């Protein structure tokens, strides 16, 4: 007999706080033991950043799914579909199709040419200093936006689960989450982080699968009746049609295009995803990991379609919007409706774990980028030994952790998927043109790379600051102010083409030519894997 209350009583959620905390505590305890075991042989920089390149393609693929299926995917997309219907589904499609860019154009070539960070690849055949600094700065910027989104998700979840709506209480819990994350990364390095991501991916996908089957079972495994019920509850047939959120005006339609562009081009330029390709021994394993992650991620996004419309049908958009945590609370509320306190506890623990794992992955990427690209290559001019570099990386972890905690305390209420889409736009603008040009365009020069990276980064961030996201609307971060002269909330449609254009312009106007032999070396290495393969045979 399935326990189905007539309506979701949000206030009743708080009675389950202890259970939620218990399940979450169990997850933390189990993963901490694994992280401690994994970290026993963390000795070199390659161990710390790239987990000694010891993971198999399927393990890494699961970890990539764990890294990628963030709170944005689970809480954000489910909420977006529950409230905005079809327009929310667009996130799922964009986030998935984007993996083809990574699979076809980036993953293997990058695995063959780099060592630890994205900057390794970008500066391979160009001038080290300027390109490395630019790549490190854009890595830090993208990680910061992504962290902000995850922390906003943590805030939403906490306010829902613990019923803590006062600022101080939420801040305290965000601090606890942040402190845990710092511990994972400090102790476990990339290996520990990868294991946390693998465990979390399995739990998340399994939890979503159970909920999906449950929702479908309620409607006799008939998708059409589920959709019909969503229409009935929301009293709006348009939840099944495109345009509910973005179809209102010509500007919002353009915004939708901009979002679509940022989603599909962002993934292959996300530094924390790119860094994962270095944890496998060969390009073939890198390919295998992308294939695994495409299957897992695709499957999960199919689940979100059912979960989103399920939440719309069973919980109802009004209840979701009214709950503490707002849009982001659709998935936990649906869990509560289906399985009562126990399923809610499990799903919330999984959501917490999701945030923890993604934040850990972002933090180690940002720390590696700072220590490896800025400290070792620029400040110490290549003279730092690996031990010092890892020491710097560990200190950076603490600094970034503290920044994430502060950011999380201040970023609240925005849809997590939406915030992540901004990180995608920044990544696609700042990184993708240079990645593509340096892999495929022989003539590409340092000036082109620097123009494209700084131009893309600056235009994306400036347009976000001048957009309705920051000011001029009720939902803005600063609703009181109004300096929103850029009408779109996602800058991708302007900043991504601009960055490609700047990369081309900077190159054709550059009087200097790059080292011909370096280009040959990069091309041969990227396609054949010479020097990067076979390491496992010895």
Partner 1 sequence: MGNSARTPDVAASADFEEVQATEQFKELRRRHRSFVFPMAVAFLLWYFAYVLLADYAVDFMSSKVWGNINVGLIMGLLQFVTTFAITGWYVSYSNRKLDPIAAEIRHGIEGHEFDKAGNRVGGATP
Interacting positions 428-467 with partner 1 (CB under 8 A): 440
Asked if 84 contacts 255 with a C-beta cutoff of 8 angstroms, the reply is: no
- Considering only 17, 115, 321, 487, the residue that binds partner 1 (CB under 8 A) is 115
Please write down the long-range contacts of 477-483, taking CB distance under 8 Å and 24 or more positions apart.
477/411, 477/414
Instruction: Candidates 287, 315, 339, 430: give the one binding partner 1 (CB under 8 A).
Output: 287
CB 232 within 8 A of CB 223: no
Q: How far is the CB of 20 from partner 1 (least distance, A)?
A: 33
> Which span (143-151, 286-294, 356-364, 416-424) binds partner 1, by CB under 8 A?
286-294
Asked if residue 209 binds partner 1 (CB under 8 A), the reply is no
Question: Which of 181, 212, 202 minimizes the C-alpha distance to 28?
Answer: 181
Identified binder of partner 1 from the candidate list 101, 270, 400, 453, rule CB under 8 A:
101
User: Which is closer to partner 1, CB of 132 or CB of 200?
Assistant: 132
Residues 292-311 that bind partner 1 (CB under 8 A): 294-295, 298, 301-302
Which residues within the stretch 132-191 sit at the binding site for partner 1 (CB under 8 A)? none
Closest approach of partner 1 to the CB of residue 7, in Å:
23
124 contacts partner 1 (rule: CB under 8 A): no
| Residue (217 or 530) nearer to partner 1, CB | 530
Could you say which residues in the range 265-284 bind partner 1, by CB under 8 A?
284
The Cα–Cα gap between 320 and 327 comes to 6
222 vs 92, 229, 232, 304, 470, CA distance in Å? 21, 11, 16, 16, 42
3-class SS string, 383-435: CCCHHHHHHHHHHHHHHHHHHHHHHHHHCCCCCHHHHHHHHHHHHHHHCHHHH
Residues 386-425 that bind partner 1 (CB under 8 A): 386, 389
Can residue 216 be called a binding residue for partner 1 (CB under 8 A)?
no
* 221 part of the interface to partner 1, by CB under 8 A: no
Quick one: which of 377, 429, 459, 495 contacts partner 1 (CB under 8 A)?
Answer: 377
Instruction: Count Cα neighbours of 67 within 13 Å in the Cβ-side half-sphere.
Output: 30
**471 phi and psi angles, rounded to 5 deg:** -150, 165
Q: Contact between 382 and partner 1 (CB under 8 A)? A: yes
How far apart are CB 483 and partner 1 at their closest, in Å?
28
How far apart are the C-alpha atoms of 367 and 175, rounded to whole Å?
19
Any contact of residue 90 with partner 1 (CB under 8 A)?
Answer: yes
d(C-alpha 60, C-alpha 288), whole Å:
9
Helix (H) or strand (E) holding 200: helix 167-218
Smallest Cα–Cα separation from 360: which of 28, 78, 24, 11? Answer: 28
Residue whose pair of structure tokens reads 């379609």 in the numeric block: 305
Q: What is the DSSP string of 101-116?
A: HIIIIIHHHHHHH-SS
Q: What are the Cα distances from residue 458, in Å, to 250, 270, 427?
A: 26, 17, 11
Q: By CB under 8 A, what part of segment 43-82 binds partner 1?
A: 44-47, 50, 52-53
Distance CA 78, CA 303 (A): 9
- In the bound complex, what is the minimum distance in angstroms from residue 379's beta carbon to partner 1? 13
Q: Does 530 bind partner 1 (CB under 8 A)?
A: yes
Q: Which of residues 239-258 bind partner 1 (CB under 8 A)?
A: 240-243, 246-247, 253, 256-257
Residue 206 engages partner 1 in binding (rule: CB under 8 A) = no
**Segment lying near partner 1 (by CB under 8 A), choices 1-9, 207-215, 371-379, 503-511:** 371-379
CB of 53 to partner 1, least distance (A): 5
Residue from 372, 403, 412, 460 that binds partner 1 (CB under 8 A)?
372
Taking residue 26's Cβ as centre, other Cβ atoms within 10 Å add up to 11
Closest CA to 303 of 78, 76, 65, 58: 78
Stretch near partner 1 under the rule CB under 8 A, chosen from 168-176, 314-322, 477-485, 518-526 = 518-526
Q: Of 103 and 181, which CB lies nearer to partner 1 in the complex structure? A: 103
Q: How far apart are CA 135 and CA 133, in angstroms?
A: 5
Residues near partner 1 (CB under 8 A), total:
76
Helices and strands in the chain: count of H runs, count of E runs: 22, 0
What pairs with residue 478 in β-bridges? 471
379 forms part of the interface with partner 1 (CB under 8 A)? no
Q: Does 129 bind partner 1 (CB under 8 A)?
A: no
Least CB distance to partner 1 at residue 386 (A): 3
Instruction: Considering the complex, state which of residue 155 and residue 281 has its C-beta at the smaller distance from partner 1.
Output: 281
Does 105 bind partner 1 (CB under 8 A)? Our answer is: yes
The span of 60-68, 96-104, 149-157, 498-506 binding partner 1 (CB under 8 A) equals: 96-104
Tell me the C-alpha distance between 327 and 289, whole Å.
Answer: 32
Q: Is 528 in the site for partner 1 (CB under 8 A)?
A: yes
Considering only 7-15, 145-153, 210-218, 379-387, which stretch makes contact with partner 1 by CB under 8 A? 379-387
Return the CA Rg of the chain.
22
Quick check: 497 binds partner 1 (CB under 8 A)? Answer: no
Burial class (CB in 10 A: 0-12, 13-18, 19+), 259: buried
Locus of tokens 């993996």: 99
Beta partners for residue 471, in sequence order: 478
- Told to check if 89 binds partner 1 by CB under 8 A, we report yes
Of 57, 260, 325, 506, the residue at the interface with partner 1 (CB under 8 A) is 260
């Amino acid at each position: 007999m399935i326990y189905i209350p007539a309506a979701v009583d949000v206030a009743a959620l708080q009675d389950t706080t202890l259970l939620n905390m218990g399940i979450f505590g169990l997850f933390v305890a189990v993963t901490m033991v694994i992280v401690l075991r994994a970290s026993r042989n963390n000795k070199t920089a390659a161990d710390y950043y790239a987990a000694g390149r010891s993971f198999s393609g399927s393990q890494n693929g699961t970890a990539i799914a764990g890294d990628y299926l963030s709170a944005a995917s689970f809480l954000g997309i489910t909420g977006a579909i529950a409230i905005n219907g079809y327009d929310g589904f667009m996130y799922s499609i964009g986030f998935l199709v984007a993996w083809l860019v990574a699979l076809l154009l980036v993953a293997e070539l990058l695995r063959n040419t780099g060592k630890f960070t994205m900057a390794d690849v970008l500066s391979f055949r160009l001038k080290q200093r300027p390109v490395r600094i630019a790549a490190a700065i854009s890595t830090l910027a993208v990680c910061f936006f992504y962290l902000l989104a995850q922390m906003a998700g943590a805030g939403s979840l906490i306010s829902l689960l613990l019923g803590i709506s006062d600022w101080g209480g939420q801040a305290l819990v965000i601090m606890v989450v942040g402190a845990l994350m710092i511990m994972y990364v400090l102790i476990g390095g990339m290996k520990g982080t990868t294991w946390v991501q693998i465990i979390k991916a399995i739990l998340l996908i399994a939890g979503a699968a159970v909920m999906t089957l449950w929702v479908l079972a309620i409607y006799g495994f008939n998708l059409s009746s589920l959709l019909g019920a969503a229409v009935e509850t929301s009293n709006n047939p348009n939840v099944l049609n495109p345009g509910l959120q973005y179809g209102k005006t010509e500007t919002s339609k353009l915004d939708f295009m901009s979002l679509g562009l940022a989603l599909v081009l962002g993934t292959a330029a996300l530094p924390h995803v790119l860094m994962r390709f270095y944890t496998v021994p060969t390009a073939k394993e890198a390919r295998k990991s992308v294939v695994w992650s495409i299957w897992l991620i695709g499957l999960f996004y199919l689940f979100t379609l059912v979960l989103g419309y399920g939440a719309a049908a069973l919980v109802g958009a009004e209840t979701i919007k009214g709950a503490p945590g707002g849009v982001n609370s659709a998935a936990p509320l649906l869990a509560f409706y289906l399985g009562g306190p126990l399923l809610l506890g499990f799903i919330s623990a999984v959501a917490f774990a999701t945030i923890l794992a993604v934040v850990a992955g972002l933090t180690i990427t940002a720390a590696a980028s700072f220590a490896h690209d800025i400290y070792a290559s620029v400040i110490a001019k290549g003279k730092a030994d690996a031990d010092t570099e890892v020491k710097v990386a560990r200190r950076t972890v603490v600094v970034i952790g503290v920044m994430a905690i502060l950011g999380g305390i201040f970023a609240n209420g925005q849809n997590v998927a939406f915030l992540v889409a901004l990180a995608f736009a920044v990544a696609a603008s700042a990184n993708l043109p240079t990645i593509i040009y340096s892999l495929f365009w022989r003539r590409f020069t340092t000036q082109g790379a620097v123009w494209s990276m700084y131009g893309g980064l600056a235009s994306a961030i400036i347009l976000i600051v001048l957009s309705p996201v920051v000011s001029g609307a009720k939902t803005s971060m600063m609703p009181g102010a109004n300096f929103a002269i850029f009408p779109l909330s996602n800058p991708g449609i302007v900043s991504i083409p601009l960055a490609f254009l700047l990369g081309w312009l900077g190159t054709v106007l550059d009087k200097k030519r790059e080292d011909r032999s370096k280009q040959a070396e990069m091309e041969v290495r990227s396609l054949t894997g010479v020097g990067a393969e076979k390491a496992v045979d010895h």
